[in-house]
Amino acid sequence: MKKPELLAPAGDMMRLRYALAYGADAIYVAYRSFGMRAACANFDEEQLRQAVALCHSQNVKLYVTVNTYPTVEEMNKLPKFLTLLEEIRPDGMIIADIGVMTLAGQYAPSVPIHVSTQANITNPVTALTYVKMGATRLVLARECSLEDIRQIKAAVGNQAEIECFVHGAMCMSVSGRCHLSAFLTGRDANRGACAQPCRWEYTIVEKMREGQYFPVVQDDRGTYIFNSKDMCMIEHIGDLIEAGVDSFKIEGRMKTFYYVATTVKAYREAIDEYAANGKLLAPEYHLTQAGKASHRDFSTGFYYAPMDENGFNTQNGGYIRPYDVVATVEKWEDGRVLICQKNKFAVGDELEVLSPCGKDFTFTVQSLTTAEGEAVADAPHSQQLLWIPCEKELGTMDVLRKKSN
């Protein structure tokens, strides 16, 4: 069996380092322009150079998103950026616009072209058309079923790789082409600035009945008819592999380093287990691990059937947060660990260690001591450095979390 690539998101250098540590085969990032996640910190020119070098030093691939639909002014600025990519040689450019593809062929001919999910590839004819235009990878539309993927892969064969989303936020519109955010807030989703109004609370009002609001469902708070559930395919990776998917993509360049670490590790373990045994031995375990990061209710998207009401959060739009990150590790020495506090915790709390190496484990906080040597009962101050007794050696990429209230 050919192992699928595990492709992780990174909105900044910190999240890129966690993606590397927790087992990603490839990482996708964006420059400060031309990417579909304007709210991320993203990467400036020097950081992009560092990211390519760091990934390549660890035999991990780096892809750069160039997947907005540029205006005339932006298109005039694009050749300079493409020339930079030709110089630093990432392993792919993720592109949605055919004009950008044309300029990429002129200014960055050595960098492979990956067609973005924003291009909405849903059939073999479209897939082959992009292959003829020079694409080496196709990121299929999230509206594709497993049967659609099989037929597209059969048509393109070895001419192009197939990449599909396996985890993360879904959009209520076709391949993310939504104007709702721009209409309501002036923030254009198709330019990476979506305000996610599909997650807001709505009721219906009839023109002649001023002040009378009608819920679409029985929830007296309103309805969330646009609010799609998150995708999670970790229990079904075998079906994706058999359909011909070459790369498993995790959504989330706007998500936290903890989300990146948790989801990448969960899928890394699941993929490795499937490759070793031809099946998942503990699918429920992998689902639980993936669910330890903040998420909405899970669904399988469009993979098994057109998404019906089961794919939407009709009752609420909130996140499920089973765990809180309480600290990251600075160093370990002589049976104690120096941590940097992220959220409040106290002596007596049971913490779980998320580690890139081996199984997660729990321990109870027996004492807390400030960096200056003062014993304290709890850790209420963000970024505070504290010592905790811990017999097992911890690494600097380990994360401490506790069950949420």
Report helix, strand or coil for 398. coil
Q: Report the topology of domain 323-403.
A: Elongation Factor Tu (Ef-tu); domain 3 (2.40.30)
pTM score, whole prediction: 0.88
Q: How far apart are the first and last CA of the chain?
A: 42
Q: Side chain identity at 108, as an amino acid letter?
A: A
pLDDT > 70: percent of the chain: 88
404: tokens are: 């949420």
341 phi and psi, to 5 degrees? -70, 140
Q: What is the largest CA-CA distance in the chain?
A: 74
Q: Is the pLDDT of residue 111 over 70?
A: yes
Assess contact for 353 and 400: CB atoms under 8 A.
Answer: yes
Q: What one-letter code names the amino acid at 350?
A: E
Alpha carbons 400 and 327: distance in angstroms, whole number: 5
Q: How far is CA 57 from the centre of its chain?
A: 23
pLDDT mean across residues, the chain: 89
d(CA 383, CA 340): 5
**In this structure, which amino acid lies at residue 254?**
M
Q: What is the mean pLDDT of residues 251-274?
A: 96
Q: Which residue has the tokens 């300029």?
A: 103
Q: How far apart are CA 175 and CA 328, in angstroms?
A: 36
Angle between helix 45-57 and helix 13-21 axes, rounded to 10 deg: 10
How far apart CA 15 and CA 382 sit, in angstroms, is: 19
pLDDT-based confidence at 269, cuts 50/70/90?
Answer: very high
What pLDDT does residue 218 have?
47
pLDDT digits (tens, 9 = 90+) for 85-99: 999 999 999 999 999
Give the sign of the dihedral formed by CA 122, CA 124, CA 126, CA 128: positive
Under DSSP, the state recorded for 312 is B
Residue ranges of domains in the chain: 5-173+227-311, 323-403
Q: Which DSSP category does 5 fall into?
A: E
pLDDT at residue 216 tops 60: no
Alpha-carbon gap, residue 267 to 252, rounded angstroms: 14
Q: Calculate the alpha carbon distances from 383 to 101, 342, 386 in Å.
A: 44, 6, 9
pLDDT, one tens digit per residue, over 113-130 is: 999 999 999 999 999 999
Q: Which helix (H) or strand (E) holds 364?
A: strand 361-364
Q: CATH topology of 5-173+227-311 equal to that of 323-403?
A: no
Q: Which CATH number fits domain 5-173+227-311: 1.20.1440.60, 3.40.50.1390, 3.20.20.70, 3.40.50.360?
A: 3.20.20.70
- Decide if pLDDT at 81 tops 70: yes
Residue 104 CA to residue 16 CA, distance in Å, equals 25
pLDDT for residue 314 = 47
Q: Which of 102, 66, 71, 59 is nearest to 84 (CA)?
A: 66
pLDDT at residue number 205: 78
Per-residue pLDDT of 31-74, as tens digits, reads 987 655 555 568 999 999 999 999 999 999 999 999 988 889 98
Give the integer Cα–Cα distance in Å for 353 and 269. 16
Two structure tokens written together for 166 = 């396996």
Q: Is the pLDDT of residue 316 over 70?
A: no
Question: For residue range 149-198, what is the model confidence (pLDDT) as tens digits?
Answer: 999 999 999 999 999 999 998 776 666 667 677 667 878 776 667 787 77
